[in-house]
Amino acid sequence: MRVLALLDGTLVDPEVPLLYADDPGVQRGDGIFETILVVERHPRELGPHLDRLERSARLMDLPLPERAGWQRAVQAVIDAWPWHTAPEMVLKLVCTRGADDSEQAPTGFAMGSEVSAGILRKRAEGVSAVTLERGYDPQLKDRAPWLLLSAKTLSYAVNMAALREADRRGADEVVFTATDGSVLEGPTSNVVLARGRTLLTTPPDSGILAGTTQAALFRAAEQAGWQARVESFPATELFHADGVWLVSSIRLISQVHTLDGIRLKADADLHTELTGLYESQY
Ligand code: PLP
């Protein structure tokens, strides 16, 4: 099931080609996107996702179409989705530069699809992960803005390759590490660890994507009396934590039960508590 809408709010047939063959988004991954969970017609964290789309566009000098267009497209997809048969929808917003000539306006669209079986399994059963080097230091982002660290660009080939490497090593997921051994993020998620009643995640300054799910979880946890800290920590900390999770919009709060082949503390009650805190906001 797929539902596709343009920024003027019109629905288009997802079977019909939409992009130009010379769109730099296709040829070079030169574009941006967001992935949003919609449950029973309610998009989660839509404002923060649209804010991040705008931030990504600014970082790569992409003239982003106005916010109202994205909101129209989101609404059109939500209105057309068969909620009675599929109560959750993965909503992708994509913006490319359009055709490879400066006259062409960017192309934007919103597409709804179903949550995959693989993601449902990760949510329910948790994941095994491996640490993999990402190859940059946590100070690089501000030194080298052309690397677009912290932008959500369409260039996810490296992230997908890392997931295939995890699969080759018999794991479901990846925790990227920086050259100083600190934890960065997953290829499509943020890393959260618990130490007592404190939650910890990596600062966006280190070049990772500022996660909307991590922010929502931390907001709820702080309201419930947890300490929530955003600071760098070494990958070795993961082995001693009271719990480790990979969090993102569609997989939600997935517990990591094994890292580099070593069983982690994966307390089921703690997992239920954090998932409950996150869900209590919606
Ligand atoms: N980091 C990366 C590289 C991602 O691709 C994602 C989401 O896909 C995240 C973190 C988590 O972001 P969010 O919680 O906003 O989905």
Predicted interface score ipTM higher than 0.90: yes
CATH number reported for the structural domain that contains residue 224 in this entry:
3.20.10.10
**What residues of the chain score a pLDDT lower than 70?**
100-103
Q: Note whether 126 and 237 are same-domain residues.
A: yes
Beta strands 11-12 and 31-39 are: unpaired
Rounded Cα distance, 230 and 219, in Å? 12
Q: Note whether 188 and 216 are same-domain residues.
A: yes
Give me the pLDDT at residue 99, please. Answer: 75
Q: Note whether 75 and 90 are same-domain residues.
A: yes
Q: Note whether 208 and 252 are same-domain residues.
A: yes
pLDDT tens sequence across 166-208: 999 999 999 999 999 999 999 999 999 999 999 999 999 999 9
* Residue that finishes a domain, picked among 115, 135, 159: 115
* Residue that finishes a domain, picked among 74, 98, 115: 115
Q: Note whether 104 and 142 are same-domain residues.
A: no
Give me the pLDDT at residue 43, please. Answer: 98
CATH number reported for the structural domain that contains residue 13 in this entry:
3.30.470.10
Q: How far is CA 163 from the centre of its chain?
A: 14
Grouping H, G, I as helix, E, B as strand and the rest as coil, residue 81 is coil
- Tell me whether residue 121 is exposed, middle or buried, using C-beta atoms within 10 angstroms of its C-beta: 0 to 12, 13 to 18, 19 or more: middle
Give me the pLDDT at residue 100, please. Answer: 66
Give me the pLDDT at residue 101, please. Answer: 64
Helix intervals (H) in 126-267: 140-143, 157-168, 212-223
Q: Note whether 252 and 271 are same-domain residues.
A: yes
Q: Note whether 177 and 256 are same-domain residues.
A: yes
Q: How far is CA 148 from the centre of its chain?
A: 16
What number does the ligand 1 atom closest to the CA of 215 have?
14
Q: Retrieve residue 170's tokens.
A: 């018999």
Give me the pLDDT at residue 135, please. Answer: 96
Q: Note whether 7 and 66 are same-domain residues.
A: yes
* Residue that finishes a domain, picked among 75, 94, 115: 115
Dmax (CA) for the chain in angstroms is 56
Q: Note whether 185 and 226 are same-domain residues.
A: yes
* Contact residues for 50 (Cβ-Cβ < 8 A; gap 6+): 34, 67, 70, 71
- Residue ranges making up the domain that contains 91: 2-115
Residue of 44, 122, 249 best suited for mutating to test ligand 1, as the one with most atoms within 8 Å of CB: 249
Q: Note whether 83 and 166 are same-domain residues.
A: no
Q: Note whether 68 and 185 are same-domain residues.
A: no
Rounded Cα distance, 121 and 116, in Å? 9
Q: How many domains does the chain have?
A: 2
What is the chain's Cα-based Rg? Answer: 19
Residue of 134, 159, 188 best suited for mutating to test ligand 1, as the one with most atoms within 8 Å of CB: 188
CA angle 141, 144, 150 (to 5 degrees): 35
Q: In 3D, which of 259, 154, 247, 250 has the Cα closest to residue 202?
A: 247
Q: Note whether 99 and 127 are same-domain residues.
A: no
What residue owns the CA closest to ligand 1's atom 10?
Answer: 189
